[in-house]
Structure formats: C-alpha cells, structure tokens
C-alpha cells in the first residue's frame, strides 16, 4: 500500500531504516510503510548536470537533512530554485546503499508563512503517527 502523508518532518527518516518490497523502497515508521514523503525545507546545496537535466540537492528542515535527486522533465521546475530557497517537496523513498534519499516528484518554491504553517502541520502529523 502506498502511504503519503501530507507533511512530515525529516526526523521520521532518521528514525527509520530503508526496506524494499521487491519493487519499491520504503521506510517503516511506527509500523506504517511510507513510500513517499511530503516535506518542507531549505535548499542548502544544489548541483545540476545541465547536459542531461539530472542533479541533486540537500534539503534541510531544521530537524534533519536529506539528499533529493532528480532527472529529466522535473529539471525545469528545479531550475527556478536557488540555494537557501524555501521549498515544498513530494518525493518517492529511494536508497543509496544504506542511506535513505528521495527521488523528486514535485517541487514548489514557497514563502515563509506557508513554510511555517507546513512545519507546524508536519510536527502534528508526526505526533499522530507516534500514538
């Protein structure tokens, strides 16, 4: 089953280990399989290969960081993002060895008010999962 939560802090990833069902990677948090994450944060580093449109960035949500990689058609959306921008990201759980990463599905540049609202929402959602 594909679970996507509206907002979660990246500390959920820190408290999980990567698993696979044979087709997809996921994390298990308090017994719930999470295949996709919806998070907000600041882009602290970005590298793009302009020849093929692939690249990665590091997303920091003040609790933790995660490497987010992208390729192909999504690179157009990423090209508008600069270092230190606040962004909202939806990504699929992926792994790089034992390290959990995100494969980027969507990215939107956001303002401070939306970031703050979603940050509070993510903490509330994590508390709900922890019950």
CATH number at residue 77: 2.40.50.140
**How many structural domains are present in the chain?**
1
The range of the structural domain enclosing residue 123 comes to 11-130
What is the largest distance, in Å, between two alpha-carbon atoms of the chain?
A: 47
State the pTM of this model.
Answer: 0.90
Closest by CA position to 34, among listed 25, 44, 23 = 25
Digit-coded pLDDT (tens) for 22-34: 888 999 888 888 8
Residue 125 lies in a domain: yes
Residue 3 lies in a domain: no
Q: Find tokens 């060895």 and name the residue.
A: 97
Residue 4 lies in a domain: no
Q: Are 65 and 46 in contact (CB under 8 A)?
A: no
Separation between Cα atoms, residue 20 and residue 23, nearest integer Å: 7
Residue 88 lies in a domain: yes
Residue 90 lies in a domain: yes
Residue 56 lies in a domain: yes
Digit-coded pLDDT (tens) for 69-126: 999 888 778 888 999 999 999 999 998 778 899 999 999 999 999 999 999 999 998 8
Closest by CA position to 12, among listed 86, 112, 114, 93 = 93
Separation between Cα atoms, residue 42 and residue 34, nearest integer Å: 22
Residue 91 lies in a domain: yes
């Amino acid at each position: 089953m594909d679970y996507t939560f509206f907002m979660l802090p990246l500390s959920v990833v820190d408290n999980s280990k990567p698993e696979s069902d044979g087709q997809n990677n996921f994390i298990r948090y308090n017994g719930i399989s999470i295949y996709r994450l919806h998070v907000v944060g600041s882009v602290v580093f970005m590298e793009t290969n302009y020849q093929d449109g692939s690249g990665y960035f590091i997303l920091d949500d003040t609790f933790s960081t995660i490497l987010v990689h992208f390729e192909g058609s999504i690179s157009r959306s990423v090209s508008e993002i600069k270092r230190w921008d606040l962004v909202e990201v939806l990504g699929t759980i992926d792994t790089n060895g034992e390290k959990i990463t995100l494969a980027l599905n969507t990215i939107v540049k956001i303002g401070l008010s939306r970031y703050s609202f979603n940050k509070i929402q993510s903490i509330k959602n994590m508390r709900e999962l922890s019950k």
